[in-house]
Amino acid sequence: MKRILVTGANGQLGSELNLLSKKHSEYEWIFADRTKITLDDLDLLETQLKEIQPNIIFNCGAYTAVDKAESEKELAFRINCLAVKIIARYAVNNNINLIHISTDYVFDGNTSIALSEDAETNPINVYGASKRAGEIACLEENPNSIIIRTSWVYSKFGNNFVKTMQKLMQEKEEISVVNDQIGSPTYAVDLANVLIDILESKKWIPGIFNYSNEGEISWYEFALLIKELGMYKCNVKPIPTSAYQTQAKRPKFSLLSKERIKAIYNINIPDYKESLKKCLNS
């Protein structure tokens, strides 16, 4: 029986994989939180991997505090790049299939067409730079890796835009949401299913793939849909990014092209509206 190690077990994707694993008992699943796999303790990391002895690794663990990363650059790079390097090296040396999760924040957002996997990267914040460095380290150490870039991830677990909006819309009469950052949300359940689909396809094509739900929207439009489906009374007001200052800059446009993953793995990608409905119903 193949043993799958999932890092970042308590994150959104890790939590959804944990639920999904109940339907896939043909694998032995190891869900590793920060105590089992310490991505910030590089000396310990390889020892922990040797103890677990996985056949497959889903590296879902990451430093994801985008604004905080601006003042914690060393920690962000240690987790998002140096730890990835160790995992990738361990995977190649032990003939292990590795799927590593990355982000749309590797782009600067200065475009208006859907970004392919070959589009030029140019991160505009520390988090994005650390994730891009992780991608490079991953493929340099282990060219047989699969990297999946995703965007705007949400689920019923963890902290995310959908849960924040639900909370604010219940508490406040009016909220403001930026209307000039464009992309597409990703329901973590859909992404979890894609990881399983790749595994079960028995077809291992290394390299970078994009995945998010179908659709092109702004955060403001996403908030309006949450309001509509949740039947909230709160007034949602559009504002430009310039009116909502954050420590880290965000890419203005990070819509991902999913043509490659659809063509190679024959993946059917749900529309963001359908996925949001499923999430809210769960």
Q: What average pLDDT does this structure show over 123-149?
A: 98
Per-residue pLDDT reduced to its tens digit, 166-205: 999 999 999 999 999 999 999 999 999 999 999 999 899 9
Q: How far is it, in rounded angstroms, from Cα 272 to Cα 191?
A: 12
**Residue 219, in any domain of the structure:** no
% of the chain exceeding 90 in pLDDT: 99
Residue 200: CATH number of its domain: 3.40.50.720
**Residue 280, in any domain of the structure:** no
The pLDDT of residue 95 is 97
Strand partners, 238: 177
Q: How wide is the angle at C-alpha 175 spanned by C-alphas 151 and 179, nearest 5°?
A: 45
pLDDT-derived band at 273 (thresholds 50, 70, 90) equals very high
The pLDDT of residue 98 is 98
The pLDDT of residue 49 is 98
Residue 90 known to be catalytic: no
Cα→Cα distances 87→29, 81, 161, Å: 17, 10, 30
Q: What average pLDDT does this structure show over 247-269?
A: 97
The residue from 127, 187, 211, 232 that is catalytic is: 127
pLDDT-derived band at 268 (thresholds 50, 70, 90) equals very high
The pLDDT of residue 129 is 98
The DSSP code sequence of 87-138 is HHHHHHHTT-EEEEEEEGGGS----SSPBPTTSPP--SSHHHHHHHHHHHHH
Q: How many domains does the chain have?
A: 1
Full residue range of the structural domain in which residue 48 is found: 3-159+186-214+255-270
Q: What average pLDDT does this structure show over 210-219?
A: 98
pLDDT-derived band at 246 (thresholds 50, 70, 90) equals very high
Q: How far is it, in rounded angstroms, from Cα 184 to Cα 81?
A: 25
**Residue 173, in any domain of the structure:** no
Q: What average pLDDT does this structure show over 246-262?
A: 97
Per-residue pLDDT reduced to its tens digit, 106-127: 999 999 999 999 999 999 999 9
**Residue 179, in any domain of the structure:** no
Task: Indicate the helix (H) or strand (E) that contains 238.
Answer: strand 235-239
pLDDT-derived band at 29 (thresholds 50, 70, 90) equals very high
Q: What is the pTM of this model?
A: 0.97
